[in-house]
Chain A
Amino acid sequence: MILCLLIHVSRTSQGLPVRQAGVIAGEMIQIGRGAACPVHLPDHRVALHHASVRRADDGSLHMDAAGEAMLKIDGIIARSVVLQPGMRIEIGPYVLGVETAPAGHDIALSMEKVHAPDGHETAVGLKQPVTLEALGFGKRTLGAVLAACILLVFLLLPMLPGASQALDKWQADLPVTLNGSWSPGSLTGGHALFEAKCSTCHKRPFQAVADEVCTGCHTQAGKHLSNETLHKRAFGSMRCTDCHADHKSRGKLRHDAEKCVACHGDIKRINHDSKLADAHDFATGHPAFHITLPEGVDADGVERVVRLRQQDKPVERPALKYSHKIHLDKTGISSPEGDTVMQCRDCHRLDASGEHFAAMTMEKTCQQSACHALNFTEPVEGIVPHGSERAVMSRLREFYGRWLADAPENRTQCEAAVGAPANSVRATLDCVNDLARRNGAATLFRKNAECGECHEITPVASTDVPWKVTPLRINRDWQPGAVFSHAKHGAMDCTACHDKMNSQKSADIAMPAIEKCRECHVGKSPARGKVVSACVSCHRFHNGEGK
Chain B
Amino acid sequence: MNRMQGATLLKYRDHRYLKVASALVLLAMAAYLLSGRAGDDAFGGTVLGYLLGIAATLIVLMLMLYGVVRRRIGGTMGRRQPAKDEKATRGEKPFRAGRLEGATLQGWLSAHIYLGVLLLVLATLHTGFHFGWNVHTLSYVLMLLVIASGLYGLHAYLNYPTLITLNMGDDTLDDLLLMIAELDELAAARALALPDEIQALVQKACRETRVGGKLWEQLSGEQRDCPTRYAVQQLPELSATYGRNDQPKMIRELYAMLLRKEKLVQRARADVMLRARMTCWLFLHAPLGIALLAALTAHIVSIFFYW
Contact = CB atoms under 8 A, between A and B. Distances in A.
Are A and B subunits of one complex? Answer: yes
Interface of A: 43-45, 68, 70, 72, 75-77, 79, 92, 118-119, 121-135, 137, 139-140, 142-144, 146-148, 150-151, 154-155, 158-159, 162, 179-186, 198, 202, 205-209, 245, 248-251, 254-256, 524-525
Nearest to A69: B186
A238 to B, nearest CB: 14
Interface string B174-185: 110111111011
B302 A182 contact: yes
A121 B283 contact: no
Interface in B139-187: 171, 173-175, 177-182, 184-186
B181 A182 contact: no
A198 B43 contact: no
A251 B40 contact: yes
Given A122-B178, A148-B294, A151-B294, 18 more contacts: A45-B181, A121-B181, A125-B210, A126-B181, A127-B212, A130-B272, A131-B218, A131-B279, A140-B286, A140-B287, A142-B283, A143-B290, A151-B298, A154-B138, A158-B305, A181-B134, A183-B132, A256-B36
A127 B211 contact: yes
B295 A249 contact: no
Contact of B276 (A121, A131, A182, A184): A131
A221 B41 CA distance: 23
Contacts of A158: 135, 298, 302, 305
Interface centre among A121, A125, A155 (most CB of B within 10 A): A155
Contacts of A92: 182
B173 A181 contact: no
A-B pairs, 7 with minimum CB distance:
A143-B290, A45-B182, A143-B287, A130-B212, A147-B294, A146-B291, A142-B287
Interface string B184-224: 11100110000000000000001111111111011000000
Interface in B40-92: 40-45
Contacts of B42: 249
B178 A119 contact: yes
Contacts of A180: 134
Contact of B189 (A72, A147, A182, A254): A72
Contacts of B128: 248-249
6 contacts: A128-B210, A130-B218, A131-B218, A131-B275, A139-B282, A209-B307
A129 B213 contact: yes
Contacts of B304: 206
B19 interface: no
Interface centre among A43, A68, A154, A185 (most CB of B within 10 A): A154
B130 A248 contact: yes
Contacts of A146: 287-288, 290-291, 294
A27 B292 CA distance: 72
Nearest to B283: A137
B181 A77 contact: no
A155 B297 CA distance: 8
A324 B228 CA distance: 104
B101 interface: no
B136 A184 contact: yes
Nearest to B207: A125
A154 B295 contact: yes
Contacts of B294: 146-148, 150-151, 154-155
Interface stretch (B5-13, B103-111, B233-241, B252-260): B252-260
B43 A135 contact: no
Contacts of B177: 119, 122, 126-127
Nearest to A253: B41
Nearest to A205: B305
A68 B106 CA distance: 46
B136 A132 contact: no
Interface centre among B45, B186, B289, B298 (most CB of A within 10 A): B298
Given A44-B179, A70-B253, A202-B306, A256 B290 contact: no
B130 A184 contact: yes
Contacts of B173: 130
Contacts of A132: 215, 218, 276, 279-280, 283
A34 to B, nearest CB: 13
A70 B190 contact: yes
B37 interface: yes
B301 interface: yes
Contact of A249 (B43, B190, B260, B293): B43
Nearest to A257: B36
B132 A184 contact: yes
Interface of B: 36-37, 40-45, 128, 130, 132-136, 138, 171, 173-175, 177-182, 184-186, 189-190, 206-215, 217-218, 253, 256-257, 260, 271-272, 275-276, 279-280, 282-283, 286-291, 293-295, 297-298, 301-302, 304-307
A478 B160 CA distance: 77
A203 to B, nearest CB: 10
Interface centre among A124, A131, A248 (most CB of B within 10 A): A248
Contact of A125 (B40, B182, B208): B208
A123 B188 CA distance: 11
A198 B208 CA distance: 62
B130 A126 contact: no
B301 A155 contact: yes
Contact of A144 (B189, B210, B276, B290): B290
Contacts of B289: 143
Nearest to B217: A128
Contacts of B136: 184
Given A70-B190, A75-B189, A135 B307 contact: no
Contacts of B215: 132, 135, 137
A186 B180 CA distance: 64
B41 A44 contact: no
Contacts of B307: 202, 206-209
A143 B297 contact: no
Contact of A147 (B218, B257, B293): B293
B119 to A, nearest CB: 18
Nearest to A139: B286
B47 to A, nearest CB: 9
A79 to B, nearest CB: 8
Contact of A154 (B182, B186, B256, B298): B298
Contacts of B186: 70, 72, 77
Contacts of A137: 215, 283
Nearest to B250: A77
Interface centre among B128, B181, B275 (most CB of A within 10 A): B181
Nearest to A245: B45
A207 B303 CA distance: 11
A186 B132 CA distance: 9
B252 to A, nearest CB: 11
Contact of B135 (A75, A133, A134, A182): A182
Contacts of B256: 68
A306 to B, nearest CB: 37
Contact of A182 (B190, B214, B306): B306
A186 B131 CA distance: 11
A19 to B, nearest CB: 26
A206 B276 CA distance: 47
Contacts of B297: 151, 155
Nearest to A255: B41
B37 A256 contact: yes
